[in-house]
Amino acid sequence: MDTPAAEVDIDATLVHRLVRAQHPDLDGPLRLVANGWDNVIYRLGADLCVRLPRRAVAVDLIRHEQRWLPALAARTGTVVPAPVRAGVPGEGYPWPWSICPWFEGRPAVDVPPPERAPAAAELAEFLARLHGPAPAGAPANPWRGVPLAARDPAVRERLAGRPDLLALWERLVSAPVWAGPPYWLHGDLHPGNLVLAPSAPARLAAVIDFGDLTAGDPATDLAVAWLAFDAAGRAAFRARYDALTGMDPDTWVRARGWALNLGTAIGAQSADNPRMAAVSVHALAEVR
C-alpha cells in the first residue's frame, strides 16, 4: 500500500499566504521537510515549523494536538512540540493548522538501531512522565490503546503465510488485558517520530507527531522498545521504565504484541517509503 493521495494541494505559496494573513509576526522563509500520510510540514525560519493536514481524516488529529499538547508539554518537558500558534481555514485552505517549535536533530529512523541506545533511558523517562490517568475527555482512538484482541482480525490478515509470527501473535494476544485506568498515550511511537541529537551520542531531542494522541493501555507506547531499539537498547529502556513505574510483566507481553501489530501495519503501508519499510523489517526481527 502506498502513501494516500493528498486531498488538498499544499505548496509554499499557500503556506506563506496563511502565515502572512494570520500570524504575520512569524513570517519567514519556508522549506518543505515532510509530506506524510496525514500532514505536510514546512520549516519556518530557524525555530518553527508549520503543520497542515493534507487529508480530512487528519483534521481532528490537529485539533487534538492544539487542545491537549500544551498541558502535556508541561507534564513531560520541552521535548513535546506543543503548538505555539493555531491557524484557521483561509486563503482557500479548508482546515485548521498549527505553527509548532522546530527541534534540531536527526530522525531516529535515519540512525542505525544500535546507535539509538543512548536515547533509550531518556525515552523511558519521557513515557513514565506521560503515562498516567487521562481525563474522561481524552481523544478516542479505535486503533491505539484498545485491548490487543481488538486488533486480532487485522493482524491475522497481515500474517497470512507467516505461520511462525502467527503462532507468536496467538501467544501474545492472550495476555491479560490492562486492568488500570486509561493512561495518556502518544499512540504512534516509532523511529520516525523520535528526534535524536544532531551528533553522537544519539540522545533524545524530541518526541514529535502526537496526531494519534489517546488514552488506554500503555503497552501501545511500550511497543517502541521493539520498533526502535535492538536488544541492548530495549533492555536499557525497560529497566529505566520499570524503575520509574513498577510496570507489571503482563504489560510487557502486550507491548511485544503491539510491536508485532504495529510492525506488520507499518510494513503493509510502506510500499513507497523505504525508511518506514525498514522499521517494519527491524521490528519483526526483534519481536521474534
Residue 174 lies in a domain: yes
pLDDT greater than 80 at residue 78:
no
DSSP annotation of 198: S
2, part of any domain: no
6 is a domain residue: no
* 43 lies in the same domain as 121: no
pLDDT value at position 146? 98
CB atoms under 10 Å from CB of 36, counted, come to: 16
* Rounded Cα gap, residues 239 and 192, in angstroms: 23
- pLDDT confidence tier of residue 269, bands split at 50, 70 and 90: confident
Note whether 34 and 167 are same-domain residues: no
Residue 10 confidence (pLDDT): 97
Q: What percentage of the chain exceeds 70 in pLDDT? A: 100
Same-domain pairing of 91 and 195: no
Looking at the structure, do residues 80 and 203 belong to the same domain, yes or no? no
Mean pLDDT for 2-12 is 90
Domain contains 5:
no
Q: What percentage of the chain reaches a pLDDT higher than 90?
A: 93
Angle, vertex CA 35, rays to CA 193 and CA 17, nearest 5: 120
> Is 90 exceeded by the pLDDT of residue 197?
yes
**Rounded to an integer, what distance in angstroms lies between the CA atom of residue 138 and that of residue 134?**
6
Does any domain span residue 4?
A: no
* pLDDT for res 72: 95
- How far apart CA 42 and CA 224 sit, in angstroms, is 26
Q: What is the DSSP string of 110-137?
A: GS-GGGGGGGHHHHHHHHHHH-SBPPTT
Q: Is residue 218 part of a domain?
A: yes
Task: Give domain status of residue 190, yes or no.
Answer: yes
d(CA 161, CA 287): 17
Domain end call among 66, 101, 136:
101
**Shared-domain flag, residues 271 and 188:** yes
| Domain closes at, from 101, 136, 157 | 101
The answer to whether the bond into 83 is cis (omega within 30° of 0) is: no
Name the residue among 190, 224, 194, 221 with its Cα closest to residue 81.
194
What single letter denotes the amino acid at residue 229? Answer: F
36 pLDDT above the threshold of 90: no
String of b and e for 79-97 (b: at least 16 CB within 10 Å)? bbbbbebbbeeeeebebbb
Asked whether residue 128 falls in the same domain as residue 270, the answer is yes
Do 204 and 250 lie in one domain? The reply is yes
Q: Give the residue numbers spanning the domain of 154.
A: 106-286
Is pLDDT at 41 greater than 80 in this prediction? yes
Does residue 111 share a domain with residue 91? no
Say if residue 126 is in the same domain as residue 200. Answer: yes
The reply to whether the predicted model has a pTM over 0.85 is yes
Q: Specify whether 151 is located in the same domain as 272.
A: yes
Can you give the CATH number for the domain in which 24 is found? 3.30.200.20
Report the mean per-residue pLDDT for the chain. Answer: 96
Digit-coded pLDDT (tens) for 113-157: 999 999 999 999 999 999 999 999 999 999 999 999 999 999 999
Band of pLDDT at residue 200, cut at 50, 70 and 90: confident
Q: Which residues contact 191 (CB under 8 A, 6 or more apart)?
A: 107, 108, 109, 111, 116, 227, 228, 279
Of 52, 73, 101, which closes a domain?
Answer: 101
If pLDDT is split at 50, 70 and 90, which confidence band does 3 have? confident
| Count of CA atoms in the C-beta half-sphere (13 A) of 266 | 28
Q: How much is the pLDDT for 206? A: 96
Q: How would you classify residue 145: left for phi > 0, otherwise alpha for psi between -120 and 50, otherwise beta? A: left
Same domain, 213 and 242: yes
**Are residue 23 and residue 157 in the same domain, yes or no?**
no
Q: Do the beta carbons of residue 81 and residue 208 sit within 8 Å? A: yes
Q: What total of structural domains would you count in the chain? A: 2
Nearest-angstrom CA–CA distance, 184 and 16:
34
Q: Within a domain: residue 7?
A: no
How sure is the predictor about 99, in pLDDT bands with cuts at 50, 70 and 90?
A: very high
Read off the CATH number of the domain in which 177 is found.
Answer: 3.90.1200.10
Residue 71: pLDDT over 80: yes
Instruction: Please determine, for residue 79, whether its predicted confidence score (pLDDT) is greater than 90.
Output: no
